[in-house]
């Protein structure tokens, strides 16, 4: 049951991440108009009052690595059950294959999965990211592989703010009733200091004592992967261990 112990540890890290994000959350951003003299236009610049904690990346990296390790531990257990005790070299070769296409899976299958039963090999092939997935959030196995590789070999996992919608409001002097200039902000992934929009002020607006407000729909997300429905940090932390337990562990553990 090493694979389940590893997934439990991953879940503990994910719970710690969710708590850290919740502790950070609040009104900690602003949109600041900044005059660009060269173009005589304004930039709506995104500002974080508190930087996104680098600790999030460390916790997330640990969680992802435990998930990836749990998959490999499960495959090792299945190989040992089907083929008997493995030599040191055989054990090194065994791995839960995560491939982006059938050709890539075929290249790795014999070496990585050849000591598993044919039924287990077929099931793992059916779990690949390129196979249509009925789960609403999509198959996260490719993201797990890529995030683990990034965290191990390149850099900390990058987190950004995802803005789904928003506007910058600029008051017109002497005008009441909520009338003024509305600047739509461009949806996307942003870091502190990035530009959300560019605009010019019409005549009649105060360029010295400009009064502004804003509304933004945002989430804290993983910038290194594209899982639209699960890439928000808290959603991802809930989704990944549930998917692995229900869609990977249960079917493979149920094999005779």
Longest dimension (CA), the chain: 83
pLDDT, one tens digit per residue, over 209-218 is 888 999 999 9
Q: Would you say residue 237 has pLDDT above 70?
A: yes
Q: Which strands, in side-by-side order, build the sheet including 29-36? A: 29-36, 41-48, 195-199
Q: Would you say residue 168 has pLDDT above 80?
A: yes
Collapsing DSSP to helix, strand or coil, 212 comes out as strand
pLDDT, one tens digit per residue, over 127-155 is 999 999 988 888 999 999 999 999 999 99
The enclosing H or E element of 34 equals strand 29-36
- pTM value is 0.90
């Amino acid at each position: 049951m090493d694979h389940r112990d590893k997934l439990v540890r991953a879940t503990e890290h994910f719970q710690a991440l969710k708590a850290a994000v919740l502790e950070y959350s609040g009104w900690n951003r602003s949109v600041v108009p900044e005059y660009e003299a060269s173009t005589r236009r304004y930039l709506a610049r995104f500002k974080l009052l508190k930087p996104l904690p680098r600790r999030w990346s460390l916790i997330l990296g640990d969680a992802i690595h435990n998930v990836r390790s749990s998959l490999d531990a499960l495959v090792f257990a299945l190989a040992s059950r089907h083929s008997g005790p493995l030599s040191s070299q055989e054990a090194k070769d065994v791995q839960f294959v995560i491939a982006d296409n059938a050709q890539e899976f075929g290249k790795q299958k014999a070496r990585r999965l050849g000591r598993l039963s044919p039924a287990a090999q077929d099931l793992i092939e059916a779990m690949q990211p390129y196979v249509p997935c009925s789960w609403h959030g999509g198959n996260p196995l490719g993201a797990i592989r890529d995030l683990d590789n990034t965290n191990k070999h390149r850099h900390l996992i990058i987190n950004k703010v995802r803005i789904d919608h928003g506007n910058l409001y600029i008051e017109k002097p002497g005008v009441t009733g909520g009338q003024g200039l509305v600047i739509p902000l461009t949806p996307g992934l942003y870091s502190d200091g990035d530009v959300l929009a560019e605009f010019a002020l019409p005549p009649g607006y105060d360029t010295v004592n400009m009064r502004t407000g804003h509304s933004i729909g945002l989430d804290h997300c993983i910038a290194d992967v594209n899982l639209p429905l699960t890439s928000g940090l808290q959603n991802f932390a809930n989704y990944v261990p549930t998917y692995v337990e229900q869609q990977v562990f249960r079917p493979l553990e149920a094999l005779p």
